[in-house]
Amino acid sequence: MTTSNSVHVSVLGLGAMGSALASALVKAGYATTVWNRSPGKAEDLVAQGAEAAATAGDAVRAGGLVIACLLDHASVHEVLDPLSDDLAGRTLINVTTTSPAQSRELAAWAARAGVAYLDGGIMAVPPMIGRPGSSILYSGSAEVFHQYKPLLDLWGTSTYFGEDAGLASLYDLALLAGMYVMYAGFLHGAAMVAPAGVTAGEFAAMATPWLTAMTGGFEGFAAVIDGGDYTVEGQQSLEFSDLGDLLAASSDQGISTEVVDMVQRLIRRQIDAGHGEEGFARIFESIRHANS
């Protein structure tokens, strides 16, 4: 087995993210070859000590470990399909954003080509790479993850979810789902107070500590869901959580109620099914079973 610190790494794709990943490798002393479809994006990295390859094939052949950070699933195939013979026997870590199904498809493609495959989902923006708060999720080959963990840890906290290559992407998208719905909730609140002359900045100053404190509720919801008993004492009931007042106040402010309507529908489905006295976490059932 090759040790990670002696491996020659090739990075395919020098967009904002690929460049940040490659730069961290070069700074850590890894021999790094870089390639980008359009010319002119390797210059900074070459100045830092990377080698630029003229073609993706040259880059793949230069190293034992290939990092793909391209645009999407289609671009990964476009670049790598013609190179399957060169990739055979090498290791591919693909951190391009793909869906779980696309990650599994790429893992199967890699297996057929004789390529060890690890899929990654990046939970960071490029300036965060190598800094506190950067997190990258992985699934696929456990052997690849453990062999290259010191290298992966250069980019951020590395978490491995299992051999199913789609799991990292699934977690990635689930976390993003939580983020976008929370952002929509914040923006709904900002729109609610705007007609009263409150700026979004003033509202953000109030919302940030409030929503941060409310994330403390996740573990309690999780305990109820995992315990499978929504009647546990001490929870806020669904009937208590009815959002009628919130919807009326939003309408009075003349704003859209779409964001809150969505949550109210999930609550109402459970109340209408006779679960009004059970805890708020029960809307998990409305979401998990589209028709329950």
Question: What is the binding site for ligand NDP (CB under 6 A)?
Answer: 13-18, 36-38, 41, 69-72, 75, 78-79, 96-97, 122, 125-126
| Residue closer to ligand NDP (CB basis): 74 or 182 | 74
Residue nearest to ligand NDP (CB): 15
Instruction: Tell the smallest beta-carbon distance from residue 70 to ligand NDP (Å).
Output: 4
Instruction: Tell the smallest beta-carbon distance from residue 213 to ligand NDP (Å).
Output: 27
| Residue closer to ligand NDP (CB basis): 70 or 168 | 70
Give the type of residue at 20: A
For residue 46, what is the enclosing H or E element? Answer: helix 43-48
| Residue closer to ligand NDP (CB basis): 157 or 257 | 157
| Residue closer to ligand NDP (CB basis): 32 or 250 | 32
Q: How far apart are CA 91 and CA 117, in angstroms?
A: 6
Whether the CB-CB separation of 28 and 153 falls below 8 Å is answered with: no
Give residues with Cβ within 8 angstroms of 123, minimum separation 6: 134, 135, 136, 137, 156, 172, 175
Instruction: Tell the smallest beta-carbon distance from residue 160 to ligand NDP (Å).
Output: 18
Instruction: Tell the smallest beta-carbon distance from residue 19 to ligand NDP (Å).
Output: 7
Q: Give me the half-sphere count of Cα atoms (radius 13 Å) on the Cβ side of residue 189.
A: 16
Instruction: Tell the smallest beta-carbon distance from residue 129 to ligand NDP (Å).
Output: 9
Give residues with Cβ within 8 angstroms of 120, minimum separation 6: 93, 94, 95, 136, 137, 138, 152, 168
| Residue closer to ligand NDP (CB basis): 95 or 151 | 95
Q: How far apart are CA 39 and CA 48, in angstroms?
A: 17
